[in-house]
């Protein structure tokens, strides 16, 4: 299967997965299609909280459970540019990059990250697709290969094409999960809040009184467990805070 056909298949699988109960990237056919585009021994969706040095990982391929990132990972993460470039180099924040874009093999194999985290797991090369995420979270899709298997330029280019489709799928899933807590009317109101409309403007648009709008917002805050209209909008449309 050529790359174009594999990309088409992946996008189709993502669309079919939009209403799945589990994680959209773990739905039937999605990981398999992804593997045909960027073959790897391991692939995980990582959400790194760099401030608190914690990670949440979603495993996409059949590999050993990575669990929480071990201590050595956070010891080496800040100084390993191939891993932390999205945090320390703003111009590269959303760029798809590979280990080989930053290091020669000799340089990479001399790093503590490789010696203590990659090599013991039988892994060598890394390709990262950065994805928008909540404030303070470095979200990325990571592909890992065993020694001797570099990611090619063509595979990197294919990963660039994947990036917007994966981003949109994650946005839709986040909004769908939030929408389940609200009625259609409440969502309509919060969309207007998210757009910056005040209560009077919302009342005119919905043909109700400002008092009714205020009451709706109070009920929404109770249902979402928040105390402000801004927090409610962010909870209902979590991706508006993603960067």
What per-residue confidence (pLDDT) applies to 21? 76
CATH fold for the domain made of 181-241: Arc Repressor Mutant, subunit A (1.10.10)
- List phi, psi (to 5°) of 111: -80, 155
Percent of the chain clearing pLDDT 90 (strictly above):
58
Q: Which of 239, 228, 235, 225 is nearest to 187 (CA)?
A: 235
Q: For the structural domain made of 3-177, what CATH number should be given?
A: 3.30.450.40
| SS3 at position 152 | coil
Token pair recorded at residue 56? 């949440």
**3-177 and 181-241, same CATH topology:** no
Give the span between the Cα atoms of 176 and 186, in whole angstroms.
14
Which H, E and C letters describe 161-178, residue by residue?
HHHHHHHHHHHHHHHHHH
User: 191-238: per-residue pLDDT in tens?
Assistant: 899 889 999 999 999 999 999 999 999 999 998 888 998 888 888 888
- List phi, psi (to 5°) of 210: -55, -30
- List phi, psi (to 5°) of 77: -55, -50
Q: Which of 126, 129, 121 is nearest to 72 (CA)?
A: 121
- Distance, C-alpha 2 to centroid of its chain: 26
Give the span between the Cα atoms of 43 and 212, in whole angstroms.
49
What per-residue confidence (pLDDT) applies to 66? 47
- The residues, any chain, with a CB within 8 Å of residue 90's CB and separated by 6 or more, are none
User: 45-102: per-residue pLDDT in tens?
Assistant: 999 998 889 999 898 876 554 444 456 999 999 999 999 999 999 999 999 999 999 9
Query: What's the mean per-residue pLDDT of the chain?
Result: 89
What per-residue confidence (pLDDT) applies to 181? 83
Region 1-12: mean pLDDT is 86
What per-residue confidence (pLDDT) applies to 163? 96
Give the span between the Cα atoms of 48 and 56, in whole angstroms.
7
Give the span between the Cα atoms of 71 and 69, in whole angstroms.
7
Give the span between the Cα atoms of 174 and 234, in whole angstroms.
11
CB 7 within 8 A of CB 14: no
Q: What angle do CA 141, 147, 150 make, to 5 degrees?
A: 60
Q: Which of 192, 174, 204, 201 is nearest to 229 (CA)?
A: 192
User: 121-135: per-residue pLDDT in tens?
Assistant: 999 999 999 999 888
Give the span between the Cα atoms of 85 and 135, in whole angstroms.
17
What per-residue confidence (pLDDT) applies to 62? 60
What's this model's pTM, rounded to 2 decimal places?
0.84
CA distance to 37, 53, 140, 179, per residue, from 56 (Å): 24, 11, 11, 23
Give the span between the Cα atoms of 26 and 58, in whole angstroms.
8
Q: Where are the domains of the chain?
A: 3-177, 181-241
């Amino acid at each position: 299967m050529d790359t174009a056909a594999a990309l088409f298949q992946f996008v189709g699988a993502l669309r079919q997965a939009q209403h799945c109960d589990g994680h959209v990237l773990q739905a039937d056919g999605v990981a398999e299609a992804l593997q045909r585009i960027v073959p790897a021994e391991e692939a995980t969706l990582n959400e790194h909280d760099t401030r608190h040095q914690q990670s949440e990982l979603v495993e996409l391929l059949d590999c050993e459970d990575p669990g929480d990132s071990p201590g050595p990972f956070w010891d080496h993460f800040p100084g390993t540019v191939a891993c932390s470039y999205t945090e320390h180099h703003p111009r590269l924040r959303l760029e798809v990059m590979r280990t080989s874009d930053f290091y020669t093999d000799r340089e990479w194999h001399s790093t503590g990250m490789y010696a203590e985290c990659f090599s013991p797991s039988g892994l060598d090369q890394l390709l990262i697709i950065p994805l928008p995420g909540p404030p303070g979270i470095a979200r990325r899709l990571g592909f890992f290969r065993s020694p001797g298997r570099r990611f090619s330029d063509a595979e990197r280019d294919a990963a660039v094409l994947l990036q917007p489709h994966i981003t949109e799928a994650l946005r839709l899933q986040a909004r769908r999960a939030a929408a389940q807590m609200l009625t259609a009317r409440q969502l309509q109101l919060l969309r207007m809040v998210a757009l910056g409309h005040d209560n009077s403007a919302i009342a005119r648009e919905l043909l109700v009184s400002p008092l009714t709008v205020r009451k709706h917002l109070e009920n929404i805050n109770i249902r979402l467990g928040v105390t402000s209209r801004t927090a409610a909008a962010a909870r209902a449309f979590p991706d508006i805070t993603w960067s």
